Every structure is written in C-alpha cells, then in structure tokens.
C-alpha cells in the first residue's frame, strides 16, 4: 500500500462527525439480498470496518444482532453515539477481534478497497460459521443521470483515482462463487449538505486546505446553479452495488 493510499485510508477520523451526518445509508433491498446469500439462518452479523454506522442501522432494521468492528476510534465513537446498544470493538479486517465461527454473516460497507485481502479474507473466513456469507456493499453515484456525472467530474481532486471496476469482480479466496447485484438508492440532500458529503471523501480530506476549499467551492457553485439541485431539497441518485459469496468449508 502506497503512503498516499495509507493516508487516505486513515483520514476519516478527522471528519468523523461530518461523516456520520452526511454519508448515505444503504438500500434495504441490498442488505436483504446480501443476507439471503447465506446457507444458514442469519441471526448474528459482523459489520466490519463499520465506520460511523451507516450500514449498522440498516442491519438492525433487518432484524439481526450486529457487532461492529472499526479501526478508527473517532469513527467508532460516532457509531456508539448513534447506536448505543450495539457491541463494538476497535479492530482491523486483518486481525478481527472475534472468536472463531462467531457470526453468520460479515458485511462490509464501502471499505473493502482499504483491506489487504491476503490478511483479511482468512480472518473473515475464520469468524464465519459454516455456510456463512461475506457481502461487500458500495454506494456509488448513479452517473447515468447527467448532472450526477458532471458533479463527479467537478468533485475530483489532485489525489483522486480513476474508477476501478475490479472491485466489482472481487477475487474472494476461500469463498465460493461471487454473485453480484445492484439496487437503486437515493439520499435526500441540499446543495449545502451534498457539498458536505463530498467533503467526507478521502480524496478531499487529505489534500491541502487551499485545494480542498477550491474543490468544495466549485461543487457548491455547480449545485447552486444546476436547476435540478438549486432550490431546496432534492434526491441524489445512487446505486447500492453488492457482491456476496459463501465461505467454503474445510478441504
């Protein structure tokens, strides 16, 4: 992992409160589809790299017991504030602080790209019960909508990376065949709050203050001038993309 990538991966604690307030949740249909991939009843779920709890809330609404593991103390503090009854622990995907066969499912919301798969996948397999499922969820802007595509272009900073479709074909060693699906989703926003959302993305967090102000300034100016977003609240069109695979049993 390069130094910039490592800096981006550990940058979120500096914007934890804004992250909790402005990041979207996940489509309920995507969560249900993810859990349905297990070959066992799902009662206990690990929300891995849980951040401030955007996925945690959806899992609780699905009626399962959730344990949240997150490497950043500030982010985990926000999760505990939002979901005070959820068991939590500081920990990384490469060293999960749970016992063997502790859960029926592991879900990861918009975080798998930060993992080292060589260390994380064996750990995820270890904490899953036989027939348990791993699911990776990502919220992405629906750039089939022209103004959303233009916003994506304007949001880019000097450290932005090109879109990487490889994560939609993940090589999940130790798991069965990968199934994928996508679900329409949306987040209710204003020009101000969507600008704040962009400001929680790592490629706008780690850049110098002057560049950050320039990026967020042009984002807000566009949203305040664009007819679809200029007046009060609007829906920001998203897609919740999901990949799931069942843990393999002993060879």
Confirm whether 232 is domain-assigned. no
pLDDT at 13: 54
DSSP lists the bridge partners of residue 144 as none
Q: What is the CATH number of the domain that holds 124?
A: 3.40.50.150
Task: Tell me if 129 is assigned to some domain.
Answer: yes
Q: In the beta sheet, which residues pair with residue 58?
A: none
Helix (H, G, I), strand (E, B) or coil at 97: coil
Q: How many residues make up the chain in this entry?
A: 251
Report how far residue 10's alpha carbon sits from residue 157's, in angstroms, rounded to the nearest whole number.
18
128, 247 Cβ separation under 8 angstroms: yes
Give the percent of the chain with pLDDT over 90.
76
191 located within any domain: no
Which pLDDT band, with edges at 50, 70 and 90, does 166 fall under? Answer: very low
Q: What angle do CA 57, 219, 71 make, to 5 degrees?
A: 35
- pLDDT of 14 reads 64
CB neighbour list of residue 2: distance below 8 Å, 6 or more residues apart: none
In 3D, which of 58, 57, 50 has the Cα closest to residue 28? Answer: 58
Give the CA radius of gyration of the chain.
18
Please give the average per-residue pLDDT across 61-90, as a whole number: 96
Q: Is the pLDDT confidence value at 41 over 80?
A: yes
Max CA pair span of the chain: 59
Task: Grade residue 203 by pLDDT with cuts at 50, 70 and 90.
Answer: confident
CA-nearest of 64, 246, 244, 23 to 136 is 244
- pTM attached to this predicted model: 0.89
Instruction: Look at residue 164 in the predicted model and tell me its pLDDT.
Output: 54
Q: Quick one: pLDDT at residue 249?
A: 73
Which residue from 197, 199, 216 is spatially nearest to 22, judged by alpha carbons? 197
How many structural domains are present in the chain? 1
Name the DSSP letter for residue 110: S
Q: Is the per-residue pLDDT at 1 higher than 50? A: no
Residue 226 forms part of a structural domain: no
Is the pLDDT score of 251 beyond 50?
no
User: 3-class DSSP state for residue 108?
Assistant: strand
Cα–Cα separations (whole angstroms), residue 118 to 76, 93, 95: 25, 10, 12
Query: Confidence class of residue 206 from pLDDT cuts 50, 70 and 90?
Result: confident
- The answer to whether residue 214 is domain-embedded is no
Predicted local distance difference test score (pLDDT) of residue 99: 98
More confident residue, 167 or 110: 110
Residue 207 lies in a domain: no
Q: Is residue 175 part of a domain?
A: yes
Mean pLDDT over 121-144 rounds to 96
> Does residue 194 lie in a domain region?
no
For 128, the domain range is 3-140+163-185+238-246
């Amino acid at each position: 992992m390069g130094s910039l990538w490592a800096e981006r991966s550990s940058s979120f604690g500096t914007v934890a409160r804004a992250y909790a307030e402005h990041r979207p949740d996940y489509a309920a249909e995507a969560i249900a589809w993810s859990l349905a991939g297990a070959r066992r009843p799902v009662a206990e779920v690990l929300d891995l790299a849980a951040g401030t709890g955007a996925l945690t809330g959806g899992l609780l609404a699905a009626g399962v017991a959730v344990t949240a593991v997150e490497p950043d103390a500030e982010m985990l503090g926000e999760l505990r504030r939002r979901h005070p009854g959820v068991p939590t622990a500081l920990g990384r995907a490469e060293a999960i602080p749970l016992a063997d066969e502790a859960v029926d499912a592991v879900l990861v919301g918009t975080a798998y790209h930060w993992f080292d798969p060589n260390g994380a996948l064996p750990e995820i397999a270890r904490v899953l019960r036989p027939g348990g499922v791993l699911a990776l969820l990502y919220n992405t802007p629906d750039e089939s909508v022209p103004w959303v595509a233009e916003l994506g272009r304007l949001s880019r900073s000097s450290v932005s990376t090109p879109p990487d479709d490889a994560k939609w074909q993940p090589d999940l060693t130790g798991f069965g065949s990968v199934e994928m699906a996508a679900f329409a989703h949306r987040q209710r926003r204003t020009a101000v709050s969507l600008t704040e959302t962009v400001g929680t993305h790592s490629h706008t967090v780690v850049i110098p203050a002057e560049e950050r102000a320039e990026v967020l300034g042009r984002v807000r100016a566009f949203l305040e001038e664009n007819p679809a977003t200029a007046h009060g609240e609007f829906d920001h069109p998203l897609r919740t993309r999901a990949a799931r695979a069942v843990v393999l049993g002993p060879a």
